[in-house]
């Protein structure tokens, strides 16, 4: 529940990155030794990943005060990721590569329909087959077996983040060299590669479109600190750009946010970048900015909804184009309930900025759509009530306390 109108002031800290934590938790399957992780965000998706691993026999020891989690996959009691967990979190597919690589067997539920699009996993399957895995699909499950995966040259048909991560993890234990072409360049892929290299993997080129992995016989334990969440960071920046004020966002990695920073500066915000923090101010008028999502280093699809909220109250008309997912504009209807003037043509939103939004009851439809509604609620006149905030809890740690510490009127109702 939010009451709009307050300027945001103060300091806010960024948590560890959800999209780095999820593959890195799954990387624990690659070694019998402990993997000691810090800066692990306290999120529903991370809890789901942990449950998924524990169900297979991975032991987990958490120190929540330190955001630390140590995982150990000494032996496994099962190799199955069941539908009940996979359907709540598509990233569960990330156990596929590690399981086949180390244990020669994996049974992973197909993710099934997802609110933001079809999101198939054909690239993950195609790549593992090229590495010698035998894969069949029956009763909604992917069954994969392999005695030992073999290195291969793999050209992805499109840029896929979890596809790149899954195959990169599998290739660490393969026999020979694997080269991934048209690989995802997202910073979370690089963070995973750092963790795997600390475990003894031989990966070069992560962060570029060509990643080379020289397979090794086994990996060992390691300690790794999860990178800062660039989407949470960007969400705070967008919130301040929309609501106005002066905020220092710390524990961040500004280098991973260039496309987002550029757009918010174009929209009228002043942003000072330091090594691991950003100061954002917005006092003057907000201007419309066109946005077109693209794989990294382009503008992230995970920030598209938040920029739509910013544009909703900016001067002028913006064209916001989603190119990664085919159905990621469901927040438009909800923004319209708050008084936004948005025309939707397929995956293109034409946003005519209005002077003010007005509070209303709205419904979160997916994770980033819920962040967009929070931003809209921060600036809408009167009260906004967001339903289905479990979406928010999948990817934002204590967002209501972080924003209320900045002066926002926001609280969790029951
Ligand atoms: C990851 C992120 C998600 C982000 C997305 C795009 C995680 C846990 N999630 O999702 O937050 O929004 O990247 O930056 O890191 N595709 C196929 N076949 C495949 C794989 C993908 O057709 O085998 C398509 C998808 O349908 C989609 C596009 O490729 O249209 C990109 O998807 P992908 O990068 O795989 O997204 P995720 O890794 O699931």
Mutate to test the pocket of ligand 1, among 17, 166, 324 (most ligand atoms within 8 A of CB): 324
Q: How much is the pTM? A: 0.97
**pLDDT in the model for residue 50:** 97
Q: How confident is the model over 59-84, as pLDDT tens digits? A: 999 999 999 999 999 999 999 999 99
What ligand 1 atom has the least distance to the C-alpha of 118? 26
**Residue 119 pLDDT grade (very low, low, confident, very high; cuts 50, 70, 90):** low
Q: How confident is the model over 16-65, as pLDDT tens digits? A: 999 999 999 999 999 999 999 999 999 999 999 999 999 999 999 999 99
What ligand 1 atom has the least distance to the C-alpha of 123? 23
Residues having CB closer than 6 A to ligand 1 are 19, 22, 90-91, 117-124, 158, 160-163, 188, 301-302, 324-325
Dihedral sign for Cα 107, 22, 367, 313, please.
negative
Q: Is the pLDDT of residue 302 over 80?
A: yes
Q: How far is the CA of 299 from the centre of ligand 1 (A)?
A: 14
- DSSP letters along 397-414, please? SSHHHHHHHTT-EE----
Distance CA 115, CA 327 (A): 7
Higher pLDDT, 177 or 5: 177
Q: Is the pLDDT of residue 390 over 60?
A: yes
Q: How far is the CA of 253 from the centre of ligand 1 (A)?
A: 22
- The encoded tokens of residue 27 equal 């990387």
Distance CA 343, CA 292 (A): 16
Chain position carrying tokens 């920030």:
303
Q: Which residues on adjacent β-strands are paired with residue 345? A: 348
Q: How far is the CA of 160 from the centre of ligand 1 (A)?
A: 5
Q: Please state the rounded mean pLDDT for residues 256-274.
A: 98
Residue nearest to atom 34 of ligand 1 (CA): 160
Q: Please state the rounded mean pLDDT for residues 373-402.
A: 95
What ligand 1 atom has the least distance to the C-alpha of 295? 14
Residue nearest to atom 26 of ligand 1 (CA): 119
- DSSP letters along 281-312, please? EE-S--B---EEB-STTSB-GGGHHHHHHHHH
Q: How far is the CA of 406 from the centre of ligand 1 (A)?
A: 33
Beta carbons within 10 angstroms of residue 308's beta carbon: 27
**pLDDT in the model for residue 120:** 86
Residue nearest to atom 22 of ligand 1 (CA): 120
Distance CA 66, CA 333 (A): 40
Residue nearest to atom 7 of ligand 1 (CA): 19
Q: How far is the CA of 159 from the centre of ligand 1 (A)?
A: 8
Q: Is the pLDDT of residue 118 over 70?
A: no
- The encoded tokens of residue 335 equal 């923004």
Q: How far is the CA of 91 from the centre of ligand 1 (A)?
A: 9
Catalytic residues: 114
* For residue 297, cis peptide bond before it (omega within 30 degrees of 0): yes
- The encoded tokens of residue 79 equal 């190799």
- The encoded tokens of residue 62 equal 């958490």
Instruction: Find the range with the poorest average confidence among 115-119, 247-251, 343-347.
Output: 115-119
What ligand 1 atom has the least distance to the C-alpha of 325? 30
Distance CA 73, CA 33 (A): 7
What ligand 1 atom has the least distance to the C-alpha of 324? 30
**pLDDT in the model for residue 216:** 98
**pLDDT in the model for residue 12:** 98
Percent of the chain residues past pLDDT 70, beyond the cut: 98
**pLDDT in the model for residue 140:** 87
Q: How far is the CA of 293 from the centre of ligand 1 (A)?
A: 13
Q: How confident is the model over 164-203, as pLDDT tens digits? A: 999 999 999 999 999 999 999 999 999 999 999 999 999 9
Q: Is the pLDDT of residue 114 over 80?
A: no
**pLDDT in the model for residue 112:** 63
Q: Where are the alpha helices (DSSP H) in 113-229?
A: 122-130, 161-172, 187-198
Residue nearest to atom 19 of ligand 1 (CA): 121
**Residue 327 pLDDT grade (very low, low, confident, very high; cuts 50, 70, 90):** confident
Q: How far is the CA of 240 from the centre of ligand 1 (A)?
A: 28
Q: Where are the alpha helices (DSSP H) in 104-220?
A: 122-130, 161-172, 187-198
Distance CA 230, CA 292 (A): 18
Q: Where are the alpha helices (DSSP H) in 319-398?
A: 331-337, 367-379, 390-395
Residue nearest to atom 13 of ligand 1 (CA): 161
Mutate to test the pocket of ligand 1, among 162, 169, 298 (most ligand atoms within 8 A of CB): 162
Distance CA 129, CA 135 (A): 7
Residue nearest to atom 12 of ligand 1 (CA): 302
Mutate to test the pocket of ligand 1, among 93, 96, 126, 163 (most ligand atoms within 8 A of CB): 163
């Amino acid at each position: 529940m939010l009451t709009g109108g307050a300027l945001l002031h103060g300091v806010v800290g960024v948590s560890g990155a959800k999209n780095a934590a999820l593959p890195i938790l799954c990387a624990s399957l690659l070694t019998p030794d402990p993997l000691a992780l810090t800066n692990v965000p306290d999120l529903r998706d991370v809890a789901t990943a942990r449950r998924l691993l524990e169900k297979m026999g991975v032991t987990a020891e958490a120190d929540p005060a330190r955001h630390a989690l140590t995982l150990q996959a000494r032996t496994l009691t099962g190799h199955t990721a069941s539908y009940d967990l996979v359907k709540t979190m598509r990233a569960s597919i990330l156990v596929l590569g590690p399981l086949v690589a180390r244990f020669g067997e994996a049974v992973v539920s197909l993710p099934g329909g997802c609110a933001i699009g079809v999101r198939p996993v054909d690239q993950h399957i195609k790549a593992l087959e090229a590495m010698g895995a035998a894969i069949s699909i029956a009763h909604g499950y992917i069954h994969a077996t392999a005695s030992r995966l073999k290195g291969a040259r793999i050209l992805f048909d499109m840029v896929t983040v979890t596809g790149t991560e899954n195959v990169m993890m599998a290739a660490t234990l393969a026999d020979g060299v694997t080269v991934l072409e048209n690989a995802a360049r997202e910073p979370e892929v690089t963070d995973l590669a750092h963790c795997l290299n600390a475990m003894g993997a031989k990966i070069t080129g992560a962060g570029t479109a060509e990643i080379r992995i020289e397979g090794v016989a086994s990996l060992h334990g390691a300690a790794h600190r999860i990178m800062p969440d660039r989407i949470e960071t960007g969400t705070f920046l967008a919130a301040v750009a929309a609501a106005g004020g002066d905020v220092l966002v710390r524990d961040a990695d500004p280098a991973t946010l260039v496309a987002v920073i550029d757009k918010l500066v174009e929209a009228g915000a002043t942003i000072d970048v330091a090594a691991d923090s950003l100061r954002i101010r917005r006092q003057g008028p907000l201007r419309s900015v066109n946005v077109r999502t693209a794989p990294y280093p382009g503008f992230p699809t995970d920030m598209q909804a938040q920029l739509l909220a910013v544009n909703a109250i900016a001067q002028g008309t913006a064209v916001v184009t989603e190119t990664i997912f085919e159905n990621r504009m469901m927040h438009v209807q909800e923004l319209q309930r708050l008084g936004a003037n948005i025309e939707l043509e397929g995956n293109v939103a034409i946003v005519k900025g209005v002077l003010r939004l007005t509070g209303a009851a709205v419904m979160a439809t997916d994770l980033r759509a819920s962040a967009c509604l929070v931003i809209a609620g921060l600036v809408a006149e009167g009260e906004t009530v967001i339903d289905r905030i479990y979406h928010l809890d999948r990817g934002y740690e204590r967002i209501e306390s972080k924003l209320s510490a900045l002066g926002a009127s926001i609280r969790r109702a029951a």
